[in-house]
Structure 1
Amino acid sequence: MGIQCLTTLIEEHYPSRTWRTITPRGELVLDGLSVSRTLSSSKKFDWVHGGQYGELRDHFIRFFSRLRDSGIDPIVIFDGVDYNQEKRETILRRMKKKVRNVFKGIINDERPSGSAFPIFTDVVFCETLKELRVKFIFADGDADRDTARIANHYNCPVVANDSDYFIFNLKAGYIPLDCLYWDQQPVEAKLYERDRFAYKFYFDHNLNLIYLIPAIMGNDFMDKVESPSLKRDIKATKRRAIKKGTQIKEIIKVDDDNFEDKLEILYYISIFNTVEDFQTHLSKIPLDDGHDTVSIIDEKYKDAKEMYDVDKISMADLVESKNLKKANGTLLPDIIRQQYRKGFIATSVMVVIVLNKYIVPVMIDNPHDYTAMRIGKHIRKCIYMILSPYLSESEVTETTITHYMEEPDDEMVSWTNVSHLNLPCIDDVIGLSEDKRIELLCEVMKTPLEVQAKLESKWKLVGVSLHYWSQHAHPDIHLIEALVLCFIRCSFNETVCPSNKVLDHRRDEKWLKALHTFAQWSCTYYDAFRLNNVLMNPLPFMSPALLFNGKLVMHYACTREFNVQKRKILESSNAKAFFDKLVSVCTCT
């Protein structure tokens, strides 16, 4: 994320004068997506089976407990809706990479570089924050600017895994997540400070020169400048430096040539006294590439300065921010905005409200099957119908990416064929009783009210999802029992079953079928979670960390010893009675 290669350049090549070691205390602002994804990408978490959520939750708890034990008060800021759609291409590119990773991990049985995060990864992270009472908030759009502004308000560092923070004007500096030594007491960190970076690269005489780095190199919002004329001038500047006896590699120590062009750009920028000097020089060099390079860089520089040169904002003021609007252009009701800020309305729901679009998540699934997300299409249509007064069109654009597709597939999804349900619009939902909203949820999920009525509160949404899954995925009784047994093992035991203690199985057709069937349950529970949000959460949401262990459920699906293991786990009469109750939820019609 951020500016390509900048993290490596800074971390590997300039530690001596750019960094200092600190012991953080008090507030510490964390980029939620960065922290969630970085902690989840550890090699010990096997994503190939669909999600080791209990182990992830334990890892998240340990991380935040260590911070608090060291006197740190964490504040987490999450990305919101890309309401200007500036990152759409970046998001789709990352999804394509995830599709490739899933194929390599499942079919070729290899661990590709990078991870394919299971669908509930960020949800489990957010639910863990609620459980620990860690302060967090969802931003309007990309969280980077708001994260920097809140850090400036508290005069504390930002922790993230995003090279954009090297450029922001952070008052108290930036700590890359791998430079936060949280697994020790007291917690220590290597702190990056922009002023030291400017001094190292001779930008300290005019800090605005720093904004030329993203303007030329590009970031998630801006493409890098591709100008043969500029490249020639950078090379010519290098030759002049060498002729004068000044070696760039003496100024910037580097052991390899992979980043030499980036280093040359940094040196090139540093020879100018001001941005105006840079622009004047650029206007005088011959431009024969058919592009107005001067104007292009000038626009990118202005955009970069606006993005990275931030003020400060309090959490309370961010809660009241009204940048997000409905797709039809009108303001969001306060209750919707506030529920979203607090994590009670999923960002994926807000994307529909704001953009009239939905990017279907990439699943850990059998690559030879069509996406398991298809199972929830009826639920999503009902969500769109409830949200329809907020939308600008009578259809929602769903974007899907699978292994079979060279390009993303856009499908216009209408809710007309569920209009007979006469579902209330979102504004009317807000005023309905809890019982009525539960009734609506069961109606959408095609589940008899008795199903949820016979389960205790925290299991109701799970039970409704199980019933819908069993009626639409048509799993055989063995797969139903495997999934329910997994739920009981994960929720009844105080200790998480470590995946390295669970046997792996040969990835044959039986294995792939089970993977797809359990992916369908994950998709059902995900869409039920979103429907519950739209209905103002009449049912409690049970974290997947207390339900689903992908490797364990796949083991139950494939082992010949299933009945033996089932008897052992269900020795308790309570466990046996609850197992029978959940299985009956799946088999009732």
Structure 2
Amino acid sequence: MGIQGLTTLIKHHYPSRTWRTVTPRGKLVLDGKNVSEIVIDKNWLHGGQYGEPRDHFIRFFRRLSDSGIDPIVIFDGVDYNREKSDTKLHRKKEKVKKVFNAILEDRITDSVVPIFTDIVFCETLKELGVEFIFADGDADRDTARIANHYNCPVVANDSDYFIFNLKAGYIPLDCLYWDQQPVKAKLYERDQFAYKFYFDHNPDLIYLIPAIMGNDFMKRMKPRSLSGAIADASQKAKISGTEMKQDEKLDMLYYISTFDTVKDFMTHLSEVCQDSEICSIKKNYEKAKELYDVGEISMVDLRESKNLKTANGTLLPRFIRQEYRKGCFATSVMAVLVLNESTIPVMVDSPHDYTAMRIGEHIRKCIYMILSPYLSKPEVIETTFTHHMEDPHPREERVRWTDVRLNLPYIDDMQYLSKNERIEILCRVLETPFEVQMIFIKSELIWKLVAVSLHYWSQHAHPDIHLIEALVLCFIHCSFDETVCPSSDLPDYKRNKMWLEALHIFAQWKSTYYDAFRLNNVLMNPLPFMSPALLFNGKLIMHYACTREFIMHKRKILESSSAKTLFEKLMSVCT
């Protein structure tokens, strides 16, 4: 993420211990994706223990609040210009490989973000009343512009922020000491960086760093002629006793700083590089300056931004834009509206089975049908990654909805339908019988989306009764017990055939609930949404599925009459 190699360079040659220590107060702008991933469960192999990150998020933001900090969180939006499509596909591919290696070869090489992590984070922000917004596209520029508007630092974990012209500086996440009172931080200031590396005579020279080193939007430039010129300059500097070091990236920084202007640098390139290389570097520089040299924008103005257009070229309806900004219209659904495309999430799933997301194909077709007036084609291109290949590649499928035998309204109609009418549509899509619909009403409405998803899952995944009981018991435990069950207290079970089958079955439930959540969004949220943090603990559910003491656990958890009644109702939905 960010500029290749820049974090390492700064860590070695401009370490945070040399930065100014500050005690943040007032506004602080946070990169949502970065913050949501700092607490990724290292034991993600069971599909996610979502209560644990929720507790961590709550503690994190309460510590900020106790220290007088008023955070604003900015989330990534849709890659509407397709500038990061290659980067995104590469990351999906790497995620599949990590899952494959971890499950089959018992090699957990890196963290994998479980499917509900971002949703749990967003729901927790709503619960805490923390201000947040979804950007149109990549959030970095908007994060920087909002920080400039409020004249406050950015908190993130992205080397791009070393280059942005931030008025109040940048605090890397590991330099925000939030677990102490008052909260303190180490503040990176670009002016000081420029002074350290001799860029202070012309700040525009700093944009040559991403232009040459590359980032998520630009490929790294590696012309041999330029590398040779840098090496020659480094050798001459070494002989003369000046500061250039034996470090390729550091040498490049000092080399750039020897020029008075960007124009001088480009003129010099004409003497050492080919025309095509000069053209590419010049193009990258212009792109980098546009990206990193930002102004400011208020939250009010960002909410009214109209950069996003539908796939058929029309303006996005205001009511959809408003729902999207406040986290009530999934980014993945917005991507369908804007791009006519959908990238299916990578699940923590058995490598021996086709992706668990297959179970929601009917639900997704209905979503596409409802969105169809704004699509440019009568089909949506779904990109899927599967787990059964060591070198996975994206598989594209053109999905049509002509076989959907339901008379569904279009998205514009949702404004004029009552809540009950929209609930009825959701139940029709999820094939929910009337008797199941009537189980959870009014006071228990919070469980209705869970119940209809549970019914759909049981009819399409055909789980064994023991696995149904394990899942429902997990729901009861997570929603009734205020203390999160630490995953470290639970044993690891042998990853045999039974374990893999259970992993796949539970991945199918998560897939169903994920698509039901998106359908609920498209219908303008007629049903309340219960956070997965209050439902699903992957390690706990695998414990219930694999332990011989299941009956004993069941008896203990269902001691209260309310827990037992809810358990019986949820089981009746499936059986």
TM-score normalised per structure 2: 0.97
Matched with 2:324 is 340
Post-superposition Cα deviations, 1:485-535, rounded to whole Å, max 9, x if no partner, equal: 000000011111111111221110000000000000000000000000000
Q: Aligned partners of 1:128, 1:343: CA distance in 2, in Å?
A: 11
Q: Aligned partners of 1:372, 1:568: CA distance in 2, in Å?
A: 32
Q: Aligned partners of 2:93, 2:278: CA distance in 1, in Å?
A: 33
SS at the partner of 1:349?
helix
Q: Aligned partners of 1:449, 1:186: CA distance in 2, in Å?
A: 55
Does 1:131 find its partner at 2:124?
A: no
Q: 1:77 aligns with which of 74, 81, 90?
A: 74
Q: 1:410 aligns with which of 396, 399, 404?
A: 396
Residues 229-238 or 217-226, more deviating: 229-238
Query: 1:131 is aligned with what amino acid?
Result: E
Q: 1:305 aligns with which of 277, 286, 289?
A: 289
Post-superposition Cα deviations, 1:384-415, rounded to whole Å, max 9, x if no partner, equal: 00000010011100001123354211110001
Q: Aligned partners of 1:532, 1:228: CA distance in 2, in Å?
A: 54
Conserved 8 A contact 2:47-2:538: yes
Q: Aligned partners of 1:28, 1:163: CA distance in 2, in Å?
A: 18
Aligned-residue offset at 1:292:
1.2
Q: Aligned partners of 2:203, 2:538: CA distance in 1, in Å?
A: 50
1:130-149 paired onto structure 2 within 5 Å: 130-149=126-145
Q: Aligned partners of 1:58, 1:18: CA distance in 2, in Å?
A: 33
Does 1:19 find its partner at 2:19?
A: yes
- Aligned-pair identity in percent equals 72
Conserved 8 A contact 1:169-1:308: yes
Post-superposition Cα deviations, 1:59-78, rounded to whole Å, max 9, x if no partner, equal: 00000011111110000000
Residues 402-411 or 269-278, more deviating: 402-411
Change (3 A) 1:17 1:131: closer
Matched with 1:563 is 551
Matched with 2:241 is 245
Q: Aligned partners of 2:284, 2:265: CA distance in 1, in Å?
A: 14
Q: Aligned partners of 1:30, 1:452: CA distance in 2, in Å?
A: 41
Conserved 8 A contact 1:372-1:523: yes
Does 1:483 find its partner at 2:468?
A: no
1:38-187 paired onto structure 2 within 5 Å: 38-40=38-40, 43=42, 46-113=43-110, 115-187=111-183
Q: Aligned partners of 2:273, 2:516: CA distance in 1, in Å?
A: 60
Unpaired runs of at least 5, structure 1: 250-256
Conserved 8 A contact 1:18-1:197: no
Does 1:435 find its partner at 2:420?
A: yes
Aligned-residue offset at 1:462:
0.1
Runs of 4+ in 1 over 6 A off after TM superposition: none
Post-superposition Cα deviations, 1:68-96, rounded to whole Å, max 9, x if no partner, equal: 11110000000000000100111111111
Post-superposition Cα deviations, 1:398-450, rounded to whole Å, max 9, x if no partner, equal: 001123354211110001110x2011111112211111100100000011133
Q: Aligned partners of 1:440, 1:95: CA distance in 2, in Å?
A: 33
Aligned-residue offset at 1:18:
5.6
Conserved 8 A contact 2:266-2:278: yes
Q: Aligned partners of 1:39, 1:392: CA distance in 2, in Å?
A: 39
Q: Aligned partners of 2:13, 2:437: CA distance in 1, in Å?
A: 59
Matched with 2:37 is 37
Q: CA RMSD in A?
A: 1.2
Aligned-residue offset at 1:122:
0.3
Aligned-residue offset at 1:286:
5.1
Aligned-residue offset at 1:16:
7.1
Does 1:522 find its partner at 2:517?
A: no
SS at the partner of 1:28?
strand
SS at the partner of 1:430?
helix
Matched with 2:435 is 450
Post-superposition Cα deviations, 1:24-46, rounded to whole Å, max 9, x if no partner, equal: 00000000011111232x54xx2
Aligned length: 570
Query: 1:29 is aligned with what amino acid?
Result: V
Does 1:234 find its partner at 2:230?
A: yes
Q: Aligned partners of 2:244, 2:101: CA distance in 1, in Å?
A: 41
Aligned-residue offset at 1:229:
1.4
Conserved 8 A contact 1:18-1:192: no
Q: Aligned partners of 2:327, 2:154: CA distance in 1, in Å?
A: 21
Q: 2:488 aligns with which of 500, 504, 521?
A: 500
Query: 2:263 is aligned with what amino acid?
Result: E
SS at the partner of 1:39?
coil
Query: 2:98 is aligned with what amino acid?
Result: N
SS at the partner of 1:351?
helix
Conserved 8 A contact 2:162-2:170: yes
SS at the partner of 1:458?
helix
Does 1:194 find its partner at 2:181?
A: no
Q: Aligned partners of 2:290, 2:413: CA distance in 1, in Å?
A: 40
Q: Aligned partners of 1:286, 1:23: CA distance in 2, in Å?
A: 47
Q: Aligned partners of 1:221, 1:326: CA distance in 2, in Å?
A: 23
Matched with 1:254 is none
Does 1:263 find its partner at 2:250?
A: yes
Q: Aligned partners of 1:235, 1:452: CA distance in 2, in Å?
A: 72
Q: Aligned partners of 1:151, 1:452: CA distance in 2, in Å?
A: 47
SS at the partner of 2:354?
coil
Q: Aligned partners of 2:18, 2:138: CA distance in 1, in Å?
A: 27
TM-score normalised per structure 1: 0.95
SS at the partner of 1:397?
strand
Q: Aligned partners of 1:409, 1:286: CA distance in 2, in Å?
A: 39
Conserved 8 A contact 1:17-1:200: no
Query: 2:201 is aligned with what amino acid?
Result: H
Q: Aligned partners of 1:39, 1:175: CA distance in 2, in Å?
A: 17
Matched with 1:319 is 303
1:562-581 paired onto structure 2 within 5 Å: 562-581=550-569
Conserved 8 A contact 1:22-1:191: yes
Matched with 1:252 is none
Aligned-residue offset at 1:17:
8.6
Conserved 8 A contact 1:430-1:535: no
Query: 2:268 is aligned with what amino acid?
Result: H
Residues 278-287 or 479-488, more deviating: 278-287
Q: Aligned partners of 1:334, 1:191: CA distance in 2, in Å?
A: 38
Q: Aligned partners of 2:121, 2:437: CA distance in 1, in Å?
A: 26
Aligned-residue offset at 1:338:
0.4
Post-superposition Cα deviations, 1:440-466, rounded to whole Å, max 9, x if no partner, equal: 000000111332332111000000000
Conserved 8 A contact 1:17-1:196: no
Conserved 8 A contact 1:478-1:557: yes
Matched with 2:380 is 396
Change (3 A) 1:286 1:440: closer
Conserved 8 A contact 2:36-2:118: yes
Conserved 8 A contact 2:5-2:213: no
